[in-house]
Amino acid sequence: MKTKGLKITEFFNFSKWKALFLGTFLFTLFLPLVSSAQLSEIPQDFSFNDALYLGLQSEGVTYLQILLKELGPDIYPEALVTGYYGSLTAKAVTNFQLEYEVVSSSSHPAAGYVGPLTRVSLNDVLSDLRKTEEEQPLQPEQPQESPTQTVQVDQTVKGDLTVEENIKASRLYQENSDLIINTLGSGNLMFNSADGLHLYGSQVIIDSTSLQNPLVYIDSPLKIKGSFAQADGSVTFGGNVSAGTLNTSNLTVSGTASLSSLSGKLTITDTSSPQLTLKYDSSDYLDISIASDGTVTFNTTGTSPKFVFSDDVEISGDLTAKTGRTATYVVAASDAPSHVKAQADYVCDGTADEVEIQAAIDTGEKLVQLSEGTFSLSSTLMLPDIDGFSLVGSGKRNTILFLEDGFTGVGIRKATQGTTNYYQRIGFLTIDGNKDNNPNGTRGIETSGLEKLQLHDVYIVDTKTDGIYGASSKIVNLNNIEVCSAGGNGIYIYNTWGWTGSEILIRDSSSQGLRIEFGGEHILTNLSLDMNWKHQLILSSTIRNQLTNVWSSPRGPGDSNNAGISIISNSTQNTIINLNIRPVSDWESPYLVEFWAADGSTLSKNTIIGGSFYGGGFPSKTAVRLSKSGTGVIADNYITGVQFDTALTPVSDATGQTGTIRLANNIGYTTENSGTGLIADGSTSIKVAHGLATVPTRVQITLTSSLGNASEIYVSDKDIDVDGTKFQVDVDIDPGSDVTFDWRAAIGEGN
């Protein structure tokens, strides 16, 4: 430091320094004299028991610094005893840890932190030093050097006061109070430090009201702990600035600034990016960059940050605002929050909002984001003829597309029919069909011409006809879909292939819940089909579908069109795994599951595996009905592993065919049984209780003895008591001795 021939090149510490200039320039420098604190100042009963770390100020830190100083300059070259655990203390602790092999390197996570292992070593060293001190003779007390030195400058400073030398770990330090740099007078105060200048204080204040520009010039990287305030005048930082709250009247930073908040005028001359970083919390921040051509760029990241201008803003160059969103275009609803509207590319007025949405879609970009709120549509939204386009809302129940009164057609569909596009996406929105005010028919979504479409997190309600209609659109994925109160089918998959899906709820549709017709090879899981007015599920002329975890709750008036599920016409090789059917109280249909072969069709090789058929409270209902029309054929279908309610009649077969269905290994519905029987000497017949759920369709007899005088044995009646519990076995004449046999009975095509 130079002033009037005085040069100070050592570290300086302003511990309780305030320079007040009233026509004079006075300041006090605390020079880095090695502290006179001695080991004896550590109480004999003290030991290191608590964690010590960077930023802590405590008595324990004081004793730590005394001990480290005692170990010499290789451990603690600065030898400062302040009670504050700063970076120099942390470095000394690291040196100690390396010396005593507590950590293996300075990059170790525990380096510079006084944890349990470090405290053990410190206590051992402290104990050894105490013993050594006790063994040494007492030395006469030396006069202590004054820890402070006051330098008074001339009353008038004509010229700059400059710190020129490289100052190791330089800082102006004032703990638990304000640090004030007051340069009242006619000269400038300049700091020059290659290692960076650290200003510590509850508040750092630069009061430079009466000086010429630059009032205070700090030509080094600057870190400020606490807030920063500047009175009238100007201050220039030649390096980068990192601070908390920055309040300034006229501040110039040649480098970049990183702040938690900012008020006042700030000039940044560096054009690197980002120039200014405003931190909202540990993760959210706003970068502001100003290019040499005058372009201003705001770039926010995180989930919540925003930048609010309280006054008018004038920018002479270009402005680019990057809000952190991923959408190419944002469309705000008329009732969206004001801050959402402020960021949106299009803002709707609540009438014919498809105009603004369609304008965003028609830009040719691949992502359009709809805000929360309600959009009123008077006509269809047309998806573009491009691959990879996404139309997404802000939440399944947060973004609502409301079809206005008199709407005709479809809520969302592809623009050009007869062509195909791939990998489009619709998600996070609701379509309200408003069916009571749209008598001419509406659908929610049509997927025609869209292959590999992703349809997810969508709620469709009150459409006049089908909620979702999928035709000529292969490999569509449905996930987390709800369709309620559709005037037609909930979901109608027609003449297409390879759909997949999970978590699908269809409720209260006026027609079928889920209808799959023609095509096939769909894989759907976790289906809830609840109280639709006709069939909950219908498979019609479709093949090789696999449906898993199906809940079906049929309802409605008694007719032939409201079964739990219906497999009809040429459907073949379909598999339903874990089918659970439980009708609601107003259900009047006579059956839960229907196999129906239309005239000229063959219904075969369909399988139901596992689940339950519940019929409690509905007497005289049938679990499975087999029926046909004309020359229709039902063959080789299979139900196994299902729990039948005993209140149900298991099977009603109106086909008059054999081989229609096999039921085996179902709980509550025994379809196969076997045992032994005996026709006693002097008798020609015996009744056998077979234990099956109903009258067996086949009984096999195998002799285990001679027939004696008889020549044949046969089953004369499969329901001898007309109650479905016994069959009768006869011989043609008295055998003259006991005749024994094995029997095996089965219902349907059991083996």
Q: What is the rounded distance in angstroms from the CA atom of residue 83 to the CA atom of residue 544? A: 79
CA dihedral (364, 368, 373, 375) positive or negative: positive
Q: What would the two tokens of residue 635 be?
A: 């063959």
Q: How many residues appear in the chain?
A: 751
CA angle 559, 563, 569 (to 5 degrees): 95
Q: What percent helix, strand, coil does the chain show, rounded to 5?
A: 10, 40, 50
Neighbouring C-beta atoms of residue 60, cutoff 10 Å: 20
- Collect all residues with Cβ–Cβ distance below 8 Å to 16 and sequence separation of at least 6: 174
* Segments making up each domain of the chain, as ranges: 2-30+147-270, 39-135, 512-667, 672-746
Burial of 521 (0-12, 13-18, 19+ CB in 10 A): middle
Q: What one-character-per-residue DSSP string does 140-187 give? A: PPPPPPPS-EEEE--SS--SEEEE-S--TT-EEE-TTSEEEEE--SSS
Pair 637, 660: CB distance under 8 Å: yes
Residue 280, pLDDT score: 58
CA angle 258, 260, 261 (to 5 degrees): 110
Q: What is the rounded distance in angstroms from the CA atom of residue 26 to the CA atom of residue 184? A: 10
Residue 306, pLDDT score: 53
Residue 616, pLDDT score: 60
- Collect all residues with Cβ–Cβ distance below 8 Å to 345 and sequence separation of at least 6: 329, 330, 331, 360
Residue 724, pLDDT score: 85
Within 13 Å and on the Cβ side, how many CA atoms surround 28? 15
Torsion of CA 299, 304, 305, 309, to 10 degrees: 110
Residue 715, pLDDT score: 96
Which residues is 312 bridged to in the sheet?
none
Pair 412, 432: CB distance under 8 Å: no
Pair 727, 718: CB distance under 8 Å: yes
The beta-strand segments (E) located in 296-385 are 296-301, 319-322, 329-332, 346-347, 367-370, 373-377, 381-383
pTM for this one?
A: 0.56
Q: What is the rounded distance in angstroms from the CA atom of residue 561 to the CA atom of residue 24? A: 103
Neighbouring C-beta atoms of residue 105, cutoff 10 Å: 9
741 SS3 class: strand
Q: What is the rounded distance in angstroms from the CA atom of residue 740 to the CA atom of residue 729? A: 11
Fill in the DSSP letter of residue 139. P
Tell me the Ramachandran region of residue 311: left when phi exceeds 0, alpha when psi lies from -120 to 50, beta otherwise. Answer: beta
Q: What is the rounded distance in angstroms from the CA atom of residue 36 to the CA atom of residue 81? A: 9
Q: What is the rounded distance in angstroms from the CA atom of residue 501 to the CA atom of residue 522? A: 9
Q: What is the rounded distance in angstroms from the CA atom of residue 700 to the CA atom of residue 710? A: 19
Pair 442, 468: CB distance under 8 Å: no
Neighbouring C-beta atoms of residue 638, cutoff 10 Å: 16
Work out the widest C-alpha separation in the chain, in whole angstroms: 148
Q: What is the rounded distance in angstroms from the CA atom of residue 276 to the CA atom of residue 260? A: 10
563: nearest Cα among 625, 629, 482: 625
Fill in the DSSP letter of residue 33. P
Gyration radius from the chain CA atoms: 44
- Three-state secondary structure string covering 260-310: CEEEEEEEECCCCCCCEEEECCCCCEEEEEECCCCCEEEEEECCCCCCCCC
Task: Give CA 308 to chain center in angstroms.
Answer: 28
Pair 468, 445: CB distance under 8 Å: yes
Which ranges of the chain have pLDDT less than 50?
Answer: 1-34, 138-178, 182-198, 200-202, 207-217, 219-220, 225-227, 231-232, 282, 303, 750-751
Q: What would the two tokens of residue 191 be?
A: 């700091």
Domain 39-135 coded CATH 1.10.101.10:
yes
CA dihedral (677, 683, 684, 686) positive or negative: negative
456 SS3 class: strand
Q: What would the two tokens of residue 724 be?
A: 């479905």
Dihedrals φ, ψ of 150, to 5°? -100, 130
Q: What is the rounded distance in angstroms from the CA atom of residue 523 to the CA atom of residue 286? A: 46
Pair 509, 489: CB distance under 8 Å: yes
